[in-house]
Amino acid sequence: MPDTIDVPGYLARLGLPELAGHEPSVPALRALHRAHAERVPYECLEIHLGRPTTVCPSASVRRIVAGRGGYCFHLNGAFSALLRALGYRVTRHLGGVQGHADPVGGATGNHLVLTVSGLPSAESPEGVWLADLGMGDGVHGPLPLVEGTYTDGPFRYGLRPSVVEPGGWRFDHDARGSFLGMDFRSQPARMSDFREKHEELTTSPESGFVRVAMAARRDATGFDVLRGLILTRVGDSPSRTVLSDQVAYFHALADIFGIVLPGSDRALLWPRVAETHRRWEREQSDLPIRMDL
């Protein structure tokens, strides 16, 4: 049964209302993907506000239309529902993000990947594209699902057959990225395939999403990530700033990531974020800003 979603509201959130009813095409897919990366943040604040979420694409669309974001199961789930509603041929795949410290890759199920087919071009003769808005600091636009190296703004990515998932694919991140790479299977996946991992990522004390409140946003020239009270820019004009008070913190959430929280949410979130940062300072940690799981 197809997801029932608010397509006009979603397109309005992306700033692309003119794409309602358009004919699927590579330029339109690029416009949708880039607008989504820039306007809908990768974030896990609902966990720290004590509000459980699901992997249901319709629910994710409602949060996005209301001004929020989510992580891979939410963002790619919602985007797949939007693309299908617009007439695109979309397949969901089981994937796995590999952190810098992870010994092996593989489609562990901690990531939802999308491919879009039926759009042949000189770059993608078979017409298949990797669309992925759930990597936080990943791609700005879709990539042709063709082995090679790709330049996307200041970053370089690789696509190649996976060595651990027969018939699957491997995405190699830029060296400045928060994770090493990602493998995904070629077989279609259902949203129900991600429920168990979603429960783990949103409740386990070992989950990076549970340990630290974060938000990220990709644009044409780099990405911003706010992890705890540390705001980092990678790409053009790189910087690292500690947001020492709640005024600066909530201004950054609103101005950079487009997340405007009501007063009741701010009152809940700030003490938790501040305590996490104080604990980090006490431990004198110098770990890099990371988003891998």
Which of 61, 165, 160, 73 lies closest to 111, judged by CA? 73
Residue 2 has a pLDDT of 57
Per-residue pLDDT, 102: 79
Please tell me the distance from the alpha carbon of residue 242 to that of residue 249, in angstroms, as a whole number: 9
Which residue numbers in the chain have pLDDT < 50? 1, 284-293
Q: Give the model confidence (pLDDT) of 122-131 as tens digits.
A: 999 999 999 9
- pLDDT in the model for residue 4: 86
Nearest to 224 by CA among 211, 198, 210, 243: 243
The confidence score (pLDDT) of residue 242 equals 94
288 residue type, one letter: P
Please provide the CATH number assigned to the domain covering 205-282: 3.30.2140.10
User: What pLDDT score was predicted for residue 104?
Assistant: 76
Rounded distance, CA 279 to CA 293, Å? 20
Q: In what order do the strands lie in the sheet with 89-98?
A: 143-144, 129-131, 111-117, 89-98, 181-188, 169-172, 155-161, 148-152
Q: What is the pTM of this model?
A: 0.94
Cα–Cα distances (Å) from 202 to 10, 44, 198, in that order, read 25, 9, 6
Which strands sit side by side in the sheet containing 42-43, from one edge to the other?
42-43, 214-219, 222-227, 230-235, 239-242
**Contact in structure between 71 and 111 (CB atoms under 8 Å):** no
pLDDT for residue 292: 39
